[in-house]
Amino acid sequence: MKDKDVKGDLLQASVPRKALPTEEQIKSTWRKGASCRVSIVCHTYNHEPFIEQALAGFLIQRTEFPFEIIVHDDASTDNTARIIERYRTAYPDIVRPVLQTKNQYRLGIRPPCFTFPLARGDYIALCEGDDYWLDEHKLSKQAAVLDQSPSAVMCYHDAIRVSEEGRVVGRSEPSRAGYNASQLALAPFIPTLTRMFRNKPVHWLDRRPLPIALDIVLTSYFSRHGGAVYVNDIAPAVYRVHDGGMWSRRGAVERLRTTLDAVLFIAARYQEEGDTRATRLLLTRAVSELIGAVGTAIIAKVLMRRFSERLKARLKRLLVRLKPDS
């Protein structure tokens, strides 16, 4: 699909051409007596201009199975929580809000710590409150892929990046080849808003402090349950680039620090579990990230001025405790 074609679809999707289905209309296609198949998990903070479009992308999903929408708002200071409450009223059997009164992010507690334990579906699909989906068959297609792929823990598809004005500014194209479990353990790039994965306990969520780039951590963690499959017939999900975005607002140096923090966190967990090979490979990735930054002189800033104390301590512990293979 060409960018200009995607942009046309995006502009149409940004202005609903018809009213959203009611809860009864959504449930009318579900198999009677079936249990929840997919939990849509949405994390949001100060997304008043965007959250309704995200919720619309969930509610247009056409499935034969029940799904739920778990929306976590981290004590937004705008009207995000009020909007979510309005949708809870309209869709009481589908929309399940988690509304914080105190910001948990500042306490080092990430949203999945609250949402993942609540998920009742066999699968979890992720989408942040400032992003949205275009394909009304996304859930059905991804669930079918996981049903037919017992060796896979996750499936994913393409995404596009758009500006606040709705202009396509890039594409996020992960590997079409998919990943086996060993490859997934190294946390390759998979757009968060395109993921669906099996609902498994994530024990690393008990650790504090958790990295900001928790999607990188989750990618590696789920590798213990299998690999990941690319799905090629789903319209790209939409990642919105704006000043309030958790990732898009970060500069290059801050993105590097955030990535390194997550990679070293994963390496430390594998080191604790006795997986020396995975630990070494992740440390190699960390070094590669630094080397890759040389061309733009980021590495000097990171090492000399911007390297956080927590990051230095993590790296020091790993290097001191890691012993060569015997």
Per-residue pLDDT, 198: 98
Structure tokens at 197: 């994965």
Per-residue pLDDT, 307: 56
pTM: 0.85
pLDDT digits (tens, 9 = 90+) for 54-109: 999 999 999 999 999 999 999 999 999 999 999 999 999 999 999 999 999 988 89
Average pLDDT, the chain: 87
pLDDT digits (tens, 9 = 90+) for 219-246: 999 999 999 999 999 999 999 986 655 5
Query: Exposed/middle/buried for 111, CB within 10 Å: 0-12, 13-18, 19+?
Result: buried
Q: Percent of the chain, pLDDT > 90?
A: 68
Is residue 2 within 8 A of residue 40, CB to CB? The reply is no
Structure tokens at 310: 């927590």
Cis peptide before 209 (omega within 30 of 0): yes
Other CB atoms closer than 10 Å to residue 113's CB: what's the count?
A: 17
